[in-house]
Structure 1
Amino acid sequence: MSTNIPLIWQAPAWPAMHYDPVRLAGELARAHRAQGVVEGKLAGLGFEQRLELAAEAWSQEAVATAAIEGERIELAAVRSSVARRLGVGEQNGPDAPRSVEGLLDVMDDAVRERETPLTHERIYAWQAALFPTGYSGMTKILVGAYRRHTEPMQIVSGRFGRETVHYETPPSERVLDEMDTFLAWFNAVTEHDSLVKAALAHLWFESIHPFEDGNGRIGRALIDLVLARESGDVSRLIGTSQRLLDTRAEYYAQLERAQHGDLDVTEWVLWFVQQVRASCEEASDAIDAALAKALFWANHRDKVLTARQRKVVNVLLDAGPGGFEGGMSTKKYESIGGTSRATASRELIELEEMAVLCRIGGGRSTRYYLNIEGWGPAEPTLEQPSD
């Protein structure tokens, strides 16, 4: 087993993390501009649309933060639980397991109670909510309390017998003192930019690793809390966990590098701020799609569509510009609408005649696209694959 263990906890001045503000300045400015764009675009949406976007973003975030830890949870169950919590969308879907409800409780508390101080008791409750049975998988763990092992925890990867130790946490007898210091800093007004504070808080908490399990999900909830203190409910749309899942290997590598040595965390903070900016840009794209969808239905409010036609059109709208690969065919319509080939063909022709859809090609190569400029194929061609 590798014994190259980073022992940053030997540094007596901890948490004297330092970073180069000059190197961060440009990326921080870009990230905050991206946040401002999200807030500005949201102003163009109605209340229900904002709730729908928040619900979907929250659902995807819950699935992502669990997936980072290798846990797969059902998106449909998460969506129905989130819909009930926000009072929007389809609320009669499948029930989520207690552990998933607990994760949503934690994420909700981080945003709704953003001005409430973070205490030992509150963070105990967060961890206990993640493990309502007292078990992590098949292993019984200590819940609602910091770890009590006498030896430090080791963060490892690799198969049994050939593990690589990436990091060794402080011993358990030091955890309470370390968390006292962390919580005092977290609750205090500091000179740090909010995005910098989120980066530092996540790194610091993950380095203490105070619980037997659940540290990653709680550490990402701390990011949510810091962002919510700055942006309020708008922060629900900024999918940092989704972004960290998409870059998981680099995420772990950046954390590990920051946990080695001299406490200069400039690279970690810079990388983290870049991920927040990317998350904001993705949220901005989602808002653009919602605005386009609202405008589309406003332009066609005088059209009488069947429930099946409306469903298919919404599928195309949800896919976004170029998102529905290959366009809508009769066969796809038949499958999505649950109808016959003849009915699918007739209803597609009706949608074309109402100028809801536009047609490209002919015969078995016929494809339909939304009648929105720029949403069809860049270079229409008759050489579409047949169904």
Structure 2
Amino acid sequence: MKSFTPLERSLGAVPGTLVGQLRRIDTGRGREELYANQLPELLTALAARARVQSITASSALEGVLVPDSARAAKIIDGSARGLRNRSEQEFAGYRAALDYLFAEDWRPLNLGLVLHLHRLLFSETPGKGGTLKTSDNLVVDRNEDGSRNIRFTPVPAAYTEQYLDDLLNGYLEARSADAHHPVLLIGLLILDLLTIHPFDDGNGRVARVLTNALLAEAGYGIGRYVSLEQLIAESSGDYYAKLLESTHGWHENEHDVWPWLEYFVSLLTDAYRRFEQGAASDRSTGSKQDRVREFVLDHAPEFFAIGDVRAALPGVSDQTIRLVLDALRKEGHIRSGGTGRGARWHRLGGT
């Protein structure tokens, strides 16, 4: 809300360094469209990897961990029987929210959608998913001695719904006016959403999953093929520092949005760079057997089935997959467990 009223005060002149990065992002979007038309199998493989990384990394940022990689893989593919604890429940919830936005026609963007995303995040968890906070909250840092430092004070609970509604409407009006780069507008919306902090829990996860959806809607589908959540986890220090820097003076409408936007734009620039690297790497792989070998050794979970390889590498036959698995078994890289359709493989590590 605050960053969109007035928008010209927030954005004004875009720093030159960001102009160059935005151009590179737009160039990357063009290449993304080219690959989608000419190499759909490649993008399917990249998407399968990114989905796993996104669910794992976004959950880990909130301290939600499923240490057993085989168990995590089953939760992600939906084959887990029962969810054993709250971490597994919330892990499954992020999968549900991410898949909803990537697989469904989720429009329009409104308060109901944001509440539904939150409901999905906690769909497997006892509690009140899909409801705004009912009491005021603080965002704090906990020190090793047990003391706390207030990072920032979000919007009071009594005003949360109005602020959130105004924010979404402000974003939609700005997008309709088409006066500013959509990546900057999405960055502003995420900044304000995190500062409003509308939920007791799950604010960061709602913001991250919504980032993927809004970028895709604007034509930047990079979040499908490179995990933005993983990139945030790798740069979490900058993520929190730049977010904090841009919240100073927010309530008085005197905040500086550029520290956060510089981080956000750099994140997407890095994502498109990695997209190009990943695409080039996969395209350069000589044979289908080489592609299977690379996936199993470098990208597959510790425990996996033939179906996992098939999903990541469309167009590669089960016969080819089995030939490579047999060779890797003989080389000592993997070990088989069981037989038939339900057989799973254990990657022993080390190529």
- Conserved in 1, the CA contact under 8 Å of 2:118 and 2:206? yes
**Are 1:125 and 2:116 counterparts?**
yes
Matches within 5 A, 1:85-234: 97-113=88-104, 116-132=107-123, 134=125, 142-149=128-135, 151-159=136-144, 161-188=146-173, 189-190=176-177, 191-231=179-219
Distance 1:227 1:338, change over 3 A: same
- Conserved in 1, the CA contact under 8 Å of 2:142 and 2:149? yes
1:296-350 Cα shifts (integer Å, max 9, x gaps): 238x9xxxxxxxxx9657646869xxxxxxxxxx9996421449xxxxxxxxxxx
Deviation at 1:226, TM superposition (A): 1.2
* RMSD of equivalent CA atoms: 3.5
Structure with the larger helix share:
2
Counterparts of 2:104 and 2:133, CA distance in 1 = 26
Counterparts of 2:105 and 2:256, CA distance in 1 = 29
Q: Tell me what 2:318 maps to.
A: none
Counterparts of 2:231 and 2:138, CA distance in 1 = 27
1:148-173 Cα shifts (integer Å, max 9, x gaps): 11x44333332464211110111111
Counterparts of 1:278 and 1:205, CA distance in 2 = 23
For residue 107 of structure 2, give the secondary structure of its aligned residue in structure 1. coil
Q: Tell me what 1:38 maps to.
A: 32
Residue ranges of structure 1 left out of the alignment (5+ in a row): 1-7, 85-91, 136-140, 301-309, 320-329, 340-368, 370-387
Deviation at 1:64, TM superposition (A): 0.9
Q: Tell me what 2:308 maps to.
A: none
Residue ranges of structure 2 left out of the alignment (5+ in a row): 301-326, 337-350
Identify which range, 202-211 or 116-125, moves more after superposition.
116-125
For residue 150 of structure 2, give the secondary structure of its aligned residue in structure 1. strand
- Conserved in 1, the CA contact under 8 Å of 2:10 and 2:256? yes
Q: Percent identity?
A: 21
Q: Tell me what 2:241 maps to.
A: 253
Counterparts of 1:224 and 1:331, CA distance in 2 = 36
AA aligned opposite 2:49: E
**Are 1:68 and 2:56 counterparts?**
no
- Conserved in 1, the CA contact under 8 Å of 2:133 and 2:200? yes
Deviation at 1:197, TM superposition (A): 1.8
- Conserved in 2, the CA contact under 8 Å of 1:20 and 1:266? no
Larger radius of gyration: 1
TM-score, length-scaled by structure 1: 0.66
Deviation at 1:94, TM superposition (A): 7.4
For residue 223 of structure 1, give the secondary structure of its aligned residue in structure 2. helix
Distance 1:142 1:297, change over 3 A: closer
Distance 1:76 1:201, change over 3 A: farther
AA aligned opposite 1:263: H
